[in-house]
């Protein structure tokens, strides 16, 4: 029996605590805010199909790789990679994956907190009955007025970042388990209520066929890349967030089963959000390709026109803000643990530094919706550039390096031991998929983007 390390930052109380925390990280704005508008911008069904394929063939195997690397090293991603390289005599350069992961988490957090701030603001709008009996135009105007006011956005961004910093400073494990145990199912129920509303709009089948009838003429090469990037973003993989959560995972917990449960829960929430939103889009003659405002321009129509809508609306945005919060925590955890381990900072100082810098960078995102909206590179605003760079470039790149590390660099013995899949075939399938299928699938996407294969 091999000896196993222990994490200096503690351990989850059980496999379920890990599954809940990782689901808390995965389910967030990516599912309810981003997935629907990405699907809307990229033509619907074909995007959704590519997305689902990416989750199954690329996402789940990479998630397993991240968790096993994390559990094997039991430290911050950077130090985990360094330790494993030392132990197995490989180049220390592999720790670069950890460095780039910390940077990516930080970049994502900067804008994630801004958007999460929007959901906080909407708690009060929905609760005060602002949306009662409004139609699409009025709801749209409320949103566009809101995002054109930098001061208000800054206030909500500051509140959200502050809340995130408080939890991370106290240590990730306390409270997270309870929050996720009760809030996730509640969010799920509210999504079902919204789907119920969508069923009565008279446009339910239009919504479903938009989402599930693939029309490949509507998806561009960039759409395929966006679907892959979205899979990374939504599952929280490619930067070490799941790796750090894996480092707190008890030794006897099954990595395979946990990863599949997390991915299924994450995908289900995204699909439900789409099923709730698109019938409302079509019933109100709205544009499915309206980018970042989609969820804020559609769901309030539902809340404004259903019985008890002010209450359900308020509850929905509270739960969405919670979901964003449990995701944001995982974005800075790798950097915070690294500062604690390697620079000997105490946890609170590490959190204050990381949070303050991400807050500052977030101001760029705020301005890109108002003061700087005319400054674009290649038609992309500051926010668009950050989002594209992180989701479509850096996360997949991190993912491919993590994959190479897990199946070509780490010894077969240690990965086999961590995964401890009881059927011999299970392990071989995982290794085969990560060695050959995942890289080929990712390469295929790259070729498509480069225009080398048919668009």
| Residues in CB range of 169: below 8 A, 6 or more apart | 347, 348, 351, 352
Least distance between ligand TRP and beta carbon 182 (Å): 19
CB of 89 to ligand TRP, least distance (A): 30
Region of 20-28, 46-54, 77-85, 173-181 interacting with ligand TRP (CB under 6 A): 20-28
Q: CB neighbours of 381 closer than 8 A, spacing ≥ 6?
A: 368, 369, 372, 373, 375
Cα dihedral: 30, 32, 33, 36 (round 10): 100
Q: Using the minimum distance from each CB to ligand TRP, give the nearer residue, 103 or 380.
A: 103
Which residue of 68, 115, 262, 331 would you call a contact of ligand TRP, by CB under 6 A? 331
Buried b (16+ CB within 10 A) or exposed e, 232-247: bbbbbbbbbbbbbbbb
Among 95, 119, 236, 392, which residue sits at the site for ligand TRP (rule: CB under 6 A)? 236
Which residues, numbered 395-424, are part of the site for ligand TRP (CB under 6 A)? Answer: 395
Shortest reach from residue 66's CB to ligand TRP, in Å: 10
Instruction: Kindly state the smallest distance separating residue 26's Cβ from ligand TRP, in Å.
Output: 5
Using CB under 6 A as the binding criterion, the count of chain residues that bind ligand TRP stands at: 17
Of 19, 20, 21, 29, the one binding ligand TRP by CB under 6 A? 29
Residue 260 CB contacts under 8 Å (≥ 6 apart), including other chains:
60
Letters for 85-124 (x = contact with ligand TRP by CB under 6 A, - = none) are --------------------x--x----------------
d(CA 17, CA 262): 12
CB 46 within 8 A of CB 223: yes
Q: Of the listed pieces 27-35, 147-155, 183-191, 245-253, which binds ligand TRP according to CB under 6 A?
A: 27-35
- Among 42, 164, 327, 381, interactor with ligand TRP by CB under 6 A: 327
Q: How far is the CB of 331 from ligand TRP (least distance, A)?
A: 5
172 binds ligand TRP (CB under 6 A): no
For position 160 contacting ligand TRP by CB under 6 A, the verdict is no
Main-chain phi, psi angles of 132, to 5 degrees: -55, 125
Comparing CA positions, the residue from 298, 365, 381, 319 lying closest to residue 29 is 319
Q: Residue 233 interacts with ligand TRP (CB under 6 A)? A: yes
Helix axes 221-235, 255-283, angle to 10 degrees: 120
CA distances in angstroms from 231 to 7, 27, 255, listed in the order given: 29, 12, 19
CA distance 268 to 311: 24
Q: Read out DSSP for 280-348? A: HHHHTT--TT-GGGHHHHHHHHHHHTSTTHHHHHHHHHHHHHHHHHHHHHHHHHHHHHHHHHHH---HH
**Residue 31 binds to ligand TRP (criterion: CB under 6 A):** yes
44 binds ligand TRP (CB under 6 A): no
241 binds ligand TRP (CB under 6 A): yes
310 versus 339: smaller Cβ distance to ligand TRP = 339
- Using CB under 6 A as the criterion, which residues of the chain lie in contact with ligand TRP when the complex forms? 25-26, 28-31, 105, 108, 233-234, 236, 239, 241, 327, 330-331, 395
């Amino acid at each position: 029996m091999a000896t196993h390390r222990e994490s200096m930052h503690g351990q989850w109380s059980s496999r379920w605590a890990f599954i809940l925390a990782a689901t808390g990280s995965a389910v967030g704005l990516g599912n309810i805010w981003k997935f629907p508008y990405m699907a809307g911008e990229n033509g619907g069904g074909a995007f959704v199909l590519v997305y689902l394929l990416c989750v199954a063939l690329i996402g789940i195997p990479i998630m397993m790789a991240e968790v096993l690397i994390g559990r094997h090293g039991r430290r911050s991603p950077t130090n985990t990679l360094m330790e494993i390289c030392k132990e197995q005599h490989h180049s220390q350069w592999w720790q670069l994956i950890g460095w780039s992961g910390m940077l990516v988490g930080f970049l994502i957090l900067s804008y994630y907190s801004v958007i999460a701030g929007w959901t906080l603001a909407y708690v009060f709008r929905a609760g005060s009955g602002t949306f009662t009996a409004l139609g699409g135009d009025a709801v749209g105007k409320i949103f566009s007025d809101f995002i054109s006011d930098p001061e208000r956005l800054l206030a909500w961004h500051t509140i959200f970042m502050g809340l995130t910093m408080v939890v991370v400073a106290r240590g990730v494990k306390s409270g997270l388990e309870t929050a996720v145990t009760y809030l996730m199912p509640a969010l799920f129920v509210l999504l079902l209520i919204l789907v119920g509303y969508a069923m009565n709009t008279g446009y339910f089948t239009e919504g479903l066929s938009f989402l599930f009838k693939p029309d490949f003429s509507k998806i561009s090469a960039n759409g395929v890349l966006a679907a892959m990037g979205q899979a990374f973003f939504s599952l929280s993989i490619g930067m070490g967030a799941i790796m750090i959560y894996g480092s707190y995972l008890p030794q006897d917990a099954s990595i395979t089963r946990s990863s599949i449960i997390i991915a299924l829960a994450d995908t289900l929430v995204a699909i439900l959000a789409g099923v709730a939103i698109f019938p409302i889009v079509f019933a109100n003659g709205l544009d499915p390709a309206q980018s970042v405002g989609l969820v804020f321009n559609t769901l309030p129509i539902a809340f404004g026109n259903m019985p008890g809508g002010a209450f359900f609306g308020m509850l929905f945005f509270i739960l969405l803000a919670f979901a964003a919060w449990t995701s944001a925590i995982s974005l800075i955890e790798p950097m915070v643990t690294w500062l604690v381990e390697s620079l000997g900072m105490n946890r609170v100082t590490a959190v204050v530094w990381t949070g303050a810098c991400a807050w500052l960078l977030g101001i760029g995102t705020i301005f890109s919706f108002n003061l700087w909206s005319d400054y674009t590179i290649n038609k992309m605003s500051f926010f668009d550039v950050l989002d594209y760079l992180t989701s479509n470039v850096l996360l997949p790149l991190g993912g491919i390096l993590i994959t190479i590390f897990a199946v070509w660099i780490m010894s077969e013995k240690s990965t086999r031991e961590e995964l401890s899949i009881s059927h011999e075939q299970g392990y071989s399938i995982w290794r085969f998929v990560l060695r050959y299928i995942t890289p080929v699938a990712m390469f295929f996407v790259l070729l498509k983007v480069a225009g080398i294969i048919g668009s």
